Structure 1
Amino acid sequence: MKAYETSYIRNIALLGHGSTGKTTLAEAMLYAAGMTSRLGKVESGSTVSDFDPEEIKRKISIRTSLVPILWKDYKLNLLDTPGYFDFVGGVKEAVSVADGALIVIKASAGVEVGTEKAWEIATEADIPKMLFITEMDAPNVNIEAILTTCKEKFGTSIAPVQVPWYEKGQFVGYVHVLKMLGRRFDGQKVVTCPIPDHLEEAIKPIRTMILEAVAETDEVLMEKYFAEEELTPEEIEKAYKKGVMNKEIVPVLCGSAVNATGISVLMDTMVSLFPAPNEAKPSIGIHQKTEEVKEIACSNDEKKSIFIFKTIVDPFIGKLSLFKVKTGTIKTDDALLNVRAGEVERFSHLYVLSGKEQKEVAALYPGDIGAVAKLKTPRTGDTMADKDFAYQYEPMVFPKGLVKKAIFPTGKGDEEKMSSSLMKLMAEDYTLSVENDKETHETILCGIGEQQLDVVVSMLKNKFKVDVYLAQPTTPYRETIKGKANVRGKHKKQSGGHGQYGDVVMAFEPSGDLEMPYVFEEKIFGGSVPKQYFPAVEKGLEECTLKGVLAGYPVVGVKAVLLDGSYHPVDSSEMAFKMATTLAFKEGVGKASPTLLEPIAHVEIKVPDEYTGDIMGDMKKRRGHMIGMDQRDSKQVIIAEVPLAELYTYATDVRSMTQGRGEVDYYFERYEEAPVDIQQKVIAARA
């Protein structure tokens, strides 16, 4: 594949709700550009971008794929992203290197939750947007209703470029309102023709909308518009592109990916309206030493630098690092410094990916997207550059995985294999993480949703040949006491030779500090227990607090006072006093009203107003305690305290209750006494 210069490159993220037809649209573009001889289908697993066995099996995208489209003199780097929330990490990767976002809407479904999420993500990334309404040939499509919803949800920037043209219920063409031309489909071609009379009325409000949007981009045009002077086609087109680049105008186009109609017009429009990388907003660079922030334009004027936005780890081909060239021209055999790791690595081969296919190239110009294999140090978010390039690009921020499951290998001795395979999957997906619980000795897998964790289990089995299963994590309960008890612990054992003798009288009561396992004091008078045995008593106490008397959980908040005791000049030893303390602890804690404490989390749930009732009702079922409410970004934030045991899959449950519009964050707050019925269940389960 030849190298394309910066002004002939367009980097576009395909965004939208799950199953709206993003992958099918990418296939239609490949076909319309003559790069494939037939349309690949998601159903048959024959698409270019969904090549992973998991994607073929599930018939959904689970990772972002790069699909370069060579259209006329241009190269469109399409980043086909997953639509399902569990795989949002892939969307974040795509928008970090895209210079424009094409949001796909299925005509039969209209604006869905994923459409709103895609809009939010593209807006946050501060890149120009375009909407494409696909499946226009489906029966009973109401494009006016879709446009009205778009304006309600996304504001007045929505500006349709086309008015669809139907004959006998069939989608046969459209009117290009920007150019005021009729366009009729002739197989895969689009033929220019007069505007049909019956569409004149439908065109007027759309044309007015476009002229208003265009006039707002320029004071001179605004004056002409209000003076009712005619704007020239050149003025309209130039101002329209300026409006798109400034994120003031969002064009809307329509067509059908399944039948490949309207696709060539879409690609022409993306070329003409979306910015080339050197026209797009500059990248943010942070100086390695001074932390000074600088805007770095995509050009050949600077030293060489790239940003690694994605990592693919394959058991056979090794690690592939996908990158965007930010400055300079990258060539085979270039040696670049990994700014984070401080290591220089040589690029022995450069590739352009098209789905799973790797095409070798000799050079990549600024703004292009490529891949390099088998580098040792790079990871997602790294900057690699010439040694005297002093800046590091802003890293991506990934959402935190709050759905948690304990993961266990099925086979004995597979722990290490499971661990190393998980590390490889985490290198690919930064929304996945692993926590090793030292207390329960469980490996906790954290992700965005249960579907994502299910894919991990499947990948471990099929890709890395390690069988695993998931379970609910063990909740880290604690034990403490509410009352007081004075007890004697005596350890006396006589055998041939020296015996064992240790005797302690101890008082147990709450210390009031649940952060500390125990507080130890001694109030011995008259040397009934010599000082040399005090450390042995404390050591026995320390060991006893590791496992409580109720259910074997660690003990906290206990004050133990050594009051009295006795010793034998020959048979007493440190071990004997340790054993005596153990006996005293078990009896004393058992008599001092032992109780179980459960971990409580501080939870914040951000939802649209209409879902607050459902969330609060569900809170009661989870034994949650409301603290308050707050307003943030036009959404309600419900603040509560909830037992941690109720939260392991709560992020998924909130998405279900809010149709994907809710977000959750939580962190451990403190321990408090569990209700009696919960205590009984936990103790019975541990028996």
Structure 2
Amino acid sequence: MKRLQQFRNIGIMAHVDAGKTTVTERMLYYTGFTHRLGNVDDGNTVMDSDPQEEKRGITISSAAITTYWDYAGERYQINIIDTPGHVDFAAEVERSLRVLDGAVAVFCAKSGVQPQSESVWRQANRYNIPRIVMINKMDRQGAEFMRVVNEIRTLLHANAVPVQLPIGAEDDHRGIVDLITMRALLWNSDDGKQFEETAIPAHLLPEAEKQRNHLLEELSLTNEELFELFTTNAAAITTKTIYKALRQATVSMQLVPVVCGAAYRNKGVQPLLNAVVQYLPSPVDITDVAGIDPSTEEQKVVRTDENAPFAGLAFKIITNDYTGKLALVRVYSGVLRQGDTVWNSRTGKKVRVSRLMRIMSDKYETVDQIGAGDIGALVGLKEVKTGDTLADPDNKVLLESIFFPEPMIGYSIEAKSSKESVKLGEALSQLLDEDPTLVVETNKETGQTILKGMGELHLEVVLEKLATEYEVEVNKGQPQIAYKEILTQSVLHKEIFKKQNGGPGSYAEIHFELSPREQNLPGLEFIDEIKGGAIPKEFIASVQKGFAAAMQSGVLAGYPVKSMRVRLFDGDIHENDSHAQDFELAAGMGFKAAALKAAPKMLEPVMQVDITTPDEYMGAITGDLNRRRGIIRGIEMKGNVQCIKAEVPLSGLFGYIITLRSLSSGRATVSLTFHDYQLVPDNVSVK
């Protein structure tokens, strides 16, 4: 159990360009994993090892690595996952957060809370991930520590409480004040390895005492022992008492500790590593993980215990030239050993694990076993996919899978030569294994292959991978948007499916009401109001299956129906000629007929567009947004720039980044995030 207490599975998450990869690189340097300082601008970081990441200077794929940190005489194993900040790769954040115990949220001291940092914060909320905040880039012009803390409180609704204060800002940033020990740490070497502990500078002492008092106030609301001391004898509060209370409050998500520094200038990273082991949870702090018994569909608890049966979740698939297909797995329970046989929840098959490896970014180290709480790579599981539960064949369990958003846009693609068609198919198969947000479909009318993804950059990266890694050149068509359809009126309908050929026949009769769902909730709401056995139970399930399949292709333009309600209230069978498949077919035919009468409408994806721009370009940018059918929801001044929030249909945003650069002489930045689906205006045609 002590070994588990010294594990930390953490993610580094942030908006693009907040410095999360640099923070991770410095963590690896100071833990001794690397012996040189890698920089994103130089394209020589350990975590961004993909050639496209080096080329673009952004994280595309979540990278995992294992390192070690010594603190208070103990050695801690830290499994770090550096996640992308660009919205097109948000699914990488999603799958990483699913298997992590804690996270470091990195914010730029100048830019503060940015659109994608809001998105990843919401993702972490969904998985109940305890966090600490690192306010980075305190050396940047315009850096303001307390402004960013207040933005985190107001915009993210988080109880962010500083445990450090910066000493100086911008070019004068020299170190930090530790509000728990009430000492100053000053960095005095270029590589950041050496720093000295001194008394707090006199001019900072009043603010330090004020913020320490605020920290104790917040902690006293979460801890009875500290509350008693704070209200009766505050001088008796020890640093040990504060650390204990702060850890409890962080793990229970009652409080978010805030630290600071300038990772690029090698300041503040060692205290951040201390904070990771001090405050973020170990696997032991998450004692029970919810699962389902696949045989009974009842809840089954998975214990974080090496002596329990094995259970783990495959959260990422990688195809490696050296090892072949790798499944990255978080082990929740038991121990997995080389040569063990495991059960795959999706296929229902038993598979043998030929090798186990520890992840070192783009390198791997063979190990004999991976125990509860750890993350490792499995070799030999050919059919495994992202989100599969792997478990002891004698103690099967199904763990919560991973949510992935639907792809927003697509391109029709084809190999440039017939010789490369087979090669293209094989390459796409590998890419789909690795990236669950990629979808490949075949257009029934044209026979074209449609590659769908989360955005233009996402698909651009995939096409470049096809060309460089798989050596397959493709022709791509015009962008295709993932429209949907919706029903706006209720319709009563009777459908009879009847087929007689002289021998055994087919017969199914259903009476139903087709209507919109309340609040247009997504998916199919199926209501069974059959009385007196007019349709047997086994056929009712087939009716539901038929409607669910039919709504994948709407009646206006063949796009999926986002939402609908079916109330089945009557029907009939033939004593000899009715079969389950007949009722499934009747549902499909009934949907096509009824949906045409239910006033179907088209829906289009609308994006939230967050633009940061100098004031002089405001007129040109807002005018351009209006031409794209954009609705401006707000404009506010932030520092010396204007921040525009708008909602714009995705159809009007192709190539927008290039246009924005032109309108602002390259000085404006934009973040695009999916907002929701909205009705296409009647005066707008969908091609």
- TM-score for the superposition, normalised by structure 2: 0.71
Aligned to 2:184: 182
SS in structure 1 opposite 2:357? strand
Aligned to 2:9: 11
2:377 is aligned with 1:371:
yes
Q: 1:267 aligns with which of 248, 273, 279?
A: 273
SS in structure 2 opposite 1:137? coil
Question: Percent same amino acid at aligned positions?
Answer: 31
Aligned to 2:538: none
Q: Is the 8 A contact 1:651 1:664 kept in 2?
A: no
Amino acid at match of 1:366: A
Q: 1:111 aligns with which of 103, 110, 113?
A: 113
2:222 is aligned with 1:217:
yes
With 225-234 and 151-160 compared, the bigger mean Cα shift is at: 225-234
SS in structure 2 opposite 1:414? helix
**CA distance in structure 2 between the aligned counterparts of 1:475 and 1:316, rounded to whole angstroms:** 37
Structure 1 residue 69 displacement after superposition: 1.6
Amino acid at match of 1:103: A
Alignment of 1:21-420 (within 5 A): 21-72=19-70, 73-155=75-157, 157-166=159-168, 169-187=171-189, 188-227=193-232, 229-230=234-235, 231-280=237-286, 282-314=288-320, 317-420=323-426
**CA distance in structure 2 between the aligned counterparts of 1:49 and 1:165, rounded to whole angstroms:** 30
Q: Is the 8 A contact 2:62 2:96 kept in 1?
A: yes
SS in structure 2 opposite 1:602? strand
Alignment of 1:584-599 (within 5 A): none
Structure 1 residue 423 displacement after superposition: 1.8
**CA distance in structure 2 between the aligned counterparts of 1:51 and 1:144, rounded to whole angstroms:** 35
SS in structure 1 opposite 2:134? strand
Aligned to 1:454: 460
Structure 1 residue 459 displacement after superposition: 0.4
2:600 is aligned with 1:602:
no
SS in structure 1 opposite 2:197? strand
CA spacing shift, 1:341–1:180, aligned 2, 3 Å: same
Q: 1:471 aligns with which of 466, 474, 477?
A: 477
Deviations, residues 643-664 of structure 1 (Å, cap 9, x unaligned): x9x58969999x9999546424
Unaligned runs of 5+ in 2: 484-556, 559-598, 613-619, 632-644, 662-667
Superposition CA RMSD, Å? 3.8
CA spacing shift, 1:215–1:51, aligned 2, 3 Å: same
Deviations, residues 259-312 of structure 1 (Å, cap 9, x unaligned): 322211111110111111121363221111221123423212320122111001
**CA distance in structure 1 between the aligned counterparts of 2:111 and 2:61, rounded to whole angstroms:** 23
**CA distance in structure 2 between the aligned counterparts of 1:109 and 1:383, rounded to whole angstroms:** 40
Amino acid at match of 1:84: H
Amino acid at match of 2:306: N
From the CA coordinates, give the structure whose radius of gyration is larger.
1
CA spacing shift, 1:298–1:616, aligned 2, 3 Å: farther
Amino acid at match of 2:602: A
With 132-141 and 122-131 compared, the bigger mean Cα shift is at: 132-141
Amino acid at match of 1:385: A
Q: Is the 8 A contact 1:288 1:391 kept in 2?
A: yes
Structure 1 residue 599 displacement after superposition: 9.6
SS in structure 1 opposite 2:132? strand
Amino acid at match of 1:180: M
CA spacing shift, 1:424–1:667, aligned 2, 3 Å: farther
Q: Is the 8 A contact 1:283 1:295 kept in 2?
A: yes
SS in structure 2 opposite 1:79? strand
Structure 1 residue 141 displacement after superposition: 2.3
Structure 1 residue 345 displacement after superposition: 2.0
**CA distance in structure 1 between the aligned counterparts of 2:208 and 2:370, rounded to whole angstroms:** 44
Aligned to 2:674: 663
Q: Is the 8 A contact 2:110 2:140 kept in 1?
A: yes
**CA distance in structure 2 between the aligned counterparts of 1:622 and 1:44, rounded to whole angstroms:** 37
SS in structure 1 opposite 2:24? helix
Deviations, residues 596-641 of structure 1 (Å, cap 9, x unaligned): xx99522464859999xx999999967999xxxxxxxxxx999x9x
Deviations, residues 105-139 of structure 1 (Å, cap 9, x unaligned): 12233222222122111111101011112222334
Structure 1 residue 51 displacement after superposition: 0.9
- TM-score for the superposition, normalised by structure 1: 0.71
**CA distance in structure 2 between the aligned counterparts of 1:337 and 1:621, rounded to whole angstroms:** 55
Structure 1 residue 94 displacement after superposition: 0.9
**CA distance in structure 2 between the aligned counterparts of 1:4 and 1:355, rounded to whole angstroms:** 26
Amino acid at match of 1:215: S
Aligned to 1:522: none
SS in structure 2 opposite 1:222? helix
CA spacing shift, 1:673–1:127, aligned 2, 3 Å: closer
Aligned to 1:537: none
Aligned to 1:444: 450
Structure 1 residue 667 displacement after superposition: 9.6
CA spacing shift, 1:403–1:665, aligned 2, 3 Å: farther
CA spacing shift, 1:663–1:617, aligned 2, 3 Å: farther
Structure 1 residue 371 displacement after superposition: 0.2
Structure 1 residue 31 displacement after superposition: 1.0
Structure 1 residue 103 displacement after superposition: 0.7
Amino acid at match of 1:282: D
Alignment of 1:634-645 (within 5 A): none
Amino acid at match of 1:61: T
Structure 1 residue 149 displacement after superposition: 1.7
**CA distance in structure 1 between the aligned counterparts of 2:655 and 2:600, rounded to whole angstroms:** 16
Matched residue count: 539
CA spacing shift, 1:473–1:161, aligned 2, 3 Å: closer
**CA distance in structure 1 between the aligned counterparts of 2:97 and 2:286, rounded to whole angstroms:** 13
**CA distance in structure 2 between the aligned counterparts of 1:399 and 1:79, rounded to whole angstroms:** 21
Deviations, residues 493-538 of structure 1 (Å, cap 9, x unaligned): xxxxxxxxxxxxxxxxxxxxxxxxxxxxxxxxxxxxxxxxxxxxxx
Ranges of 4+ aligned residues in structure 1 off by more than 6 Å:
474-477, 608-611, 614-625, 650-653, 655-658, 672-675
CA spacing shift, 1:424–1:173, aligned 2, 3 Å: same
Amino acid at match of 1:400: E
Q: Is the 8 A contact 2:142 2:170 kept in 1?
A: no
Deviations, residues 385-440 of structure 1 (Å, cap 9, x unaligned): 11112211111010111112212222234333222211211111111111211112
Structure 1 residue 342 displacement after superposition: 2.2
Q: Is the 8 A contact 2:331 2:374 kept in 1?
A: yes
Deviations, residues 535-581 of structure 1 (Å, cap 9, x unaligned): xxxxxxxxxxxxxxxxxx99xxxxxxxxxxxxxxxxxxxxxxxxxxx
Structure 1 residue 195 displacement after superposition: 1.8
